[in-house]
Structures are given as C-alpha cells and as structure tokens.
A and B are shown apart, each in its own frame.
Chain A
Amino acid sequence: MVLEKIFSHGRKERQVTENIEKHIQLLCRACGIFKDALEKNDRNLLWEVIELERDADAVRRDVIAHIYEGAFLPYIRPDLCKFVEIVDEVFDLLKDIAFLGLECKLPEPLREESIRVALLNFRMCELLLISFQAMLRGEDLREKILGIRIYEKKIDDIKLNLFKDAEQVPVANFWAGKMLSDLLTGLCGISDIIEDASDHLQIINVSTR
C-alpha cells in the first residue's frame, strides 16, 4: 500500500504523524472540556480550554518544523501543513468562544441546545481522529467522512432553531447581545471547520494512492 509506505517509514515521518495525532487528540480533549464547561457552568474548565489551545500551538509548530526539515516527499508537504492549519483554526475558534463564555453566561432557554452542539462537535473531533488513524492504516475513509458530514448537517439543523430561540432572549445592551451572538456563531461554526479538515484529509488520502 502506497499510503502505508508513505506514512510509516522514517523517523521524521513518524514524528510528524504522531504529532498530528496528538494535535487531534488535544482537540478532542478541548471540545470535551468545553462541553463539560457549558454543562457545569464551570469557568475553570473554560480556562483549561484556553490552556489547551496554547499546547496545541506548540504541537502545530513542531509538525510544521519537522515537515520542512525534510519529512515526506515534497509534493505531500503542503497538504499536510494545510491539514494541521485547519485543525488549528478549530482551536482558535474554540479559544475565542471559551473567552466569550467567560464573559457571558448562556441564557437558560439556549443552554440545552448549545450543550448538544458542543457534544456533537466533540463527536466530530473523535471521528476526525478515527479517520486520521484509519488513513495511517491505509483504509478507505468514505464512511468516516460521511459520518462527519452527517454530524455537520445535524448541527446545522440545531443552529437554525438555536438562533430563532435566541431572538426571544432579552439582552442587557448591544455588547451583551453581540457577545452572545458571537458565542453561538462560534459554537455552531466549529463543525464547518472540522468538516473542512475531514475533506482535506480525504484529499491527502486520495493524492497518496
């Protein structure tokens, strides 16, 4: 299998794939903690998400550095970098909404559905990790990518209702409303970026066959 050869040979290559896996594992952890933070109204957990984003930044830098030190054939390097950058975008958005969560509390009518979105985001991250591991084993990703798309569609459905409900929520002033809107937009936007990451994974998978 071409893929297995590409991804398993060489110390540098292994370091890169291990780090990418670690990066996605960190993302799963961050999404899980963010969901718990919403469920328990726990500010400390939101700070933990922000800390994890910093850890993830370090991992991302390691991955890029190793790739440009000569890991992998040149043609695949930009795609691997791009994939890591997309995953990092999820971290950035997660950090932004964690900061917003510190500033504004979710109104009760929106709480339950927001937690559902956070849970589905977490499930999508898990599936992204499963997809990456499957790619390393040289497996077909079709079913896994479809699973990610189904989760994304589900979040889109919830998003529509969430924003309808949000219209009815009274806010103290413009900035309170903006922060709440940004929080909801960010929370529902995470799935779009994870879907982009999974699409890119599929591109890498196909291009290495």
Chain B
Amino acid sequence: MKIQEFMTTKIEFIDAGKSVYDAVERMVDRRIRSVVVRFSNKEGDYGVLTSRDIVFKVFAKGIDPKKVKVSEIASKPVACIDKNMDFDDAATTMERSNIARLFVCDEGKIIGLISLLDVMAAELVTRAREDHGS
C-alpha cells in the first residue's frame, strides 16, 4: 500500500523560537504527540518535537517549560520518506533508524506523517485485501 493513501495529514507546525510551554499547550489541545518545528522560512528546514522529548528533557528534570525554547530540545533533521513509497519501506526505515514516526515529504515539503500505528493499520488492510492486490 502506498504511503500517501494512508498517511496522516493532520500536522501542526510551531516556530523554533516559541517556548516548550506553547508547544505543550498546542499538543494537548489538538491531542497530538508531536509538532514539526520550523527553524526558518526555508523549505526543508524542519525539526520535530515529541511528547517524549518534552516529558524526558523538561518535565522530568523539573525545568520550567516557559523558559525553554522549542529549538533547544527538538530533534533535527526530521526523517523523511517519499510519498510514493510503500508501507513496507516505511517499516524498514523506522526499524533501521529506530524511530516511531516518519514524515512524508514531497520536494522537501512535509505533506504527511506516518506513525507505528499507521504502519500496523496498513498491514491489517493489506492482509484483508490479500490475493486481490493492495
């Protein structure tokens, strides 16, 4: 199954200069586990901030999230995969890089996101369509 058919397109962006508190507010409000960090206006200059980063690097250490900038704890660069690749390729890439989410890119622009759960859902659908092409 092609990635672009089943990817999540609900992606939130946040500017690198914003505080971690701003990111937390947005993530809790939208019920999302990560935000894409925009470092500059240049296409492709992205990072990613996950709930794991926030909890482990800020909350667990008792740091005030209003005093930490998103850019200080975000991971950069983001792992990208082409929209025309299959979910099998995505699973392999995730396993090799030991990451839980992959961004779907089209000419350097992020257009979607796939998580481990998406990979599992795609696998179930592929099995359901077995012998009929996927």
B9 contacts partner chain A, Cβ-Cβ < 8 Å: yes
Q: Tell me the nearest residue of chain B to A146, going by C-beta.
A: B124
B132 within 8 A of A: yes
Contact of B124 among A113, A130, A143, A161 (CB under 8 A): A143
Given B9, B121, B132, which contacts A113 in the complex, CB threshold below 8 Å? B9
- Tally of B interface residues using CB under 8 Å: 12
Question: Hey, which chain A residues are within 8 Å of B5, CB to CB?
Answer: 116, 119-120, 123
Which residue from chain B places its CB closest to the CB of A131 in the assembled complex? B128
Inter-chain contact B125/A147, CB cutoff 8 Å: yes
B8 within 8 A of A: yes
- Considering the complex, give the chain B residue whose CB is closest to the CB of A120: B5
Report how far A116 CA is from B124 CA in the complex, Å. Answer: 19
In the complex formed, the residue of B with least CB distance to A151 is: B125
- How distant is the Cα of A146 from the Cα of B127 in the complex, in angstroms? 10
* Mask: chain A, 115-132; 1 = CB below 8 Å from B; 0 = not: 010011001001100100
A157 adjacent to B8 (CB under 8 Å) = yes
The dominant DSSP class at the B interface is helix
Q: Is the CB of A154 within 8 A of B121?
A: yes
Please tell me if A150 contacts chain B, counting CB pairs below 8 Å.
Answer: yes
* B10 near A157: Cβ-Cβ < 8 Å: yes
Q: Which of A119, A147, A158 contacts B128 (CB 8 A)?
A: A147
Complex Cα–Cα for A146 and B125 (A): 8
The answer, yes or no, to whether B96 is at the interface (CB within 8 Å) is no
Say whether A144 faces chain B, with CB atoms less than 8 Å apart: yes
A interface: dominant SS: helix
Min distance, Cβ B22 to any Cβ of chain A, angstroms: 20
B134 — nearest CB in chain A belongs to which residue?
Answer: A123
Shortest Cβ distance from B118 into A: residue: A154
> Is the beta-carbon distance between A147 and B8 smaller than 8 angstroms?
no
Cβ A143 vs Cβ B132 within 8 A: no
Task: Please give the distance in Å from B35's CB to the nearest CB on chain A.
Answer: 15
Closest beta carbon of chain B to A108's beta carbon, Å: 15
The residue in chain B whose Cβ has the minimal distance to the Cβ of A160 is B10
Docked-complex contact B9 and A130, CB < 8 angstroms: no
In whole angstroms, what is the CA distance A147 to B6 when docked? 12
- Are A150's CB and B124's CB within 8 A? yes
List, sorted by A's number, 9 A–B pairs whose CB atoms are closer than 8 Å.
Answer: A116-B5, A127-B128, A127-B129, A143-B124, A143-B128, A150-B125, A151-B125, A157-B10, A160-B10
Query: Which residues of B are at the interface with A, using a C-beta cutoff of 8 A?
Result: 5-6, 8-10, 121, 124-125, 127-129, 132
- Nearest 10 pairs between A and B by C-beta? A147-B128, A147-B125, A144-B128, A143-B128, A150-B121, A130-B132, A161-B10, A150-B125, A143-B127, A150-B124
